[in-house]
Amino acid sequence: MNIDQRRSGILLHISSLPSKFGIGDLGPGAYWFADFLQQAGQSLWQVLPLNPTDPGYHHSPYSSFSAFAANVLFISPELLVREGLLSALDLRDRPDFPSSYTDYDTVMEYKRRILHRAHENFRSRRRLEKEFGEFRKNNSAWLRDYALFVAIKDHLGGAVWTDWPKALKERKGEALQDFEYSFGAQIERAEFLQFIFFRQWEQLREYCRGRGIEFIGDMPIYVNWDSADAWADTRNFKIDERYRPVGVAGVPPDYFSATGQRWGNPVYNWRRLKESRYAWWVGRLRHNLKLYDYVRIDHFRGFVQYWEIPSQEPLASKGKWMHVPTEDFFDTLRKNFKKLPLVAEDLGVITDDVRALMRKYDFPGMKVLLFAFGEDLHKHPYLPHNFERHCLVYTGTHDNNTVRGWFENEATPREKENFFTYISRHLEVADIPWAFVELAMRSKADTAIVPMQDVLGLGQEARFNKPATTQGNWRWRLTREEITPRVTQRLRVLAQDSDRLSRVCV
């Protein structure tokens, strides 16, 4: 399969899957959802970044302390029992978790306890030791630095690495050796839990392959300053003599924020990256292409120009555009990969040079229907009759309100009337989400992706993230009861009628 065929799929992050353990995971709920996708005639499953999340960043999957490691909260306790790493008795003290949202504080406390127990059982029995050794060897480029970073940070009470003792901050060999000697078990545990995650992930991917389902993954363009990546090689970033960022990333004022967004991530030292022939990026992309069939690069325009805000400035509006060695970078990627199955997140203000780059390297972009109805009903590029075939159409993204939430709480009278004019009829509010789904699925775009909330017609209460806010995001979860036979059949019929039905159907 490839993304140029006429296909469709669902956007649902792993954290949103049904699970008895407070957060979606790679266990039975994931396999149940894969079965639903197959039965509904879908062949794509899009997820958000799988990297570790942090309470300091409100568990945003776009703000991680590692660009390579995975979120161990997604490890399935039930699969650990099947592997003999936990017993059924180990799971008896499970809190009474809510089923429709994630309570991250309770989940973290509980998962930390049982994952530590799984590692202790591994150390006493050494099951899977050969596989674990192979995993460590195959991921040595990032795994050891990540495990050291996590162990040191935990030992120092979560301190930012620039506040660590000088020898550890500067990665002095003797200091790191002494720490490894004293905290070897904690370092091994961090490595072991990564091994378990990637093992469970590959098992899920294999199951999905057998059902004709491929994954679209999401790769944030930036990493956090307080990350294993920045600590392991500061030369990849613009920093001063005190290891502080000179400039930080963000975007100027746009649809989501009148003052712009100051993300705070360190910006890259592209001159140094070019000197290394972009080794860090090549390794990062290779790692992601082992995880997913296609990789959506968030904030793609940052590979042409990026918005750099002086680190001392609190407002994003004080930044300026900076250039990237764009063609040299992508030509280097081409030399390292037989194919580049990338999707460009090209939303917002996109300039002609970004469009030219996407055409040159044949990267499909995105169309979002929620943005289509505020202007001229003939010319807006997100209206279905203006699509080029080589693109992905979404009703909305993880950053948007749900379709119903948008219509009830955000859409202007003009947008509502434009929408009704475009579809040539008026609808009840409850029917509007499905009308958007039909517009996406029947469009000429090669690929149609619909957030699960819009398939179900859910309102603002099911919104996953609201940019430039910190509270209440990344929490919504799907329950098994919401996917009824009628939902499955309705989606399957639409996939068939719009010539998107998966070739591997029950």
> Per residue in 313-343, pLDDT tens?
999 999 999 999 999 999 999 999 999 999 9
Residue 78's alpha-carbon distances to 128, 194, 198, in angstroms, are: 17, 17, 16
Q: Is 298 a catalytic site residue?
A: yes
Do 368 and 382 meet the contact criterion of CB atoms below 8 Å apart?
yes
In this prediction, the residues of the chain whose per-residue pLDDT falls under 50 are 1
Q: What confidence score (pLDDT) does residue 375 get?
A: 85
Q: What is the pLDDT of residue 281?
A: 98
Q: Tell me the CA distances in angstroms from 63 to 3, 58, 77, 89, one per residue in order.
A: 28, 9, 25, 35
Residue 504: its pLDDT value, please? Answer: 79
CA distance 197 to 217: 16
Chain CA centroid to CA 34, Å: 18
**Residue of 191, 218, 229, 345 marked active site:** 345
Beta bridge partners of 268: 237
96 flagged as catalytic: no
* pLDDT score of 26: 98
* 46 Ramachandran zone, left/alpha/beta (phi>0; psi -120 to 50): beta
Gap between the Cα atoms of 120 and 81, Å rounded: 14
Determine the pLDDT at residue 202: 98
Catalytic residue among 229, 308, 399, 446: 399
> One of 191, 226, 298, 346 is an active-site residue; which one?
298
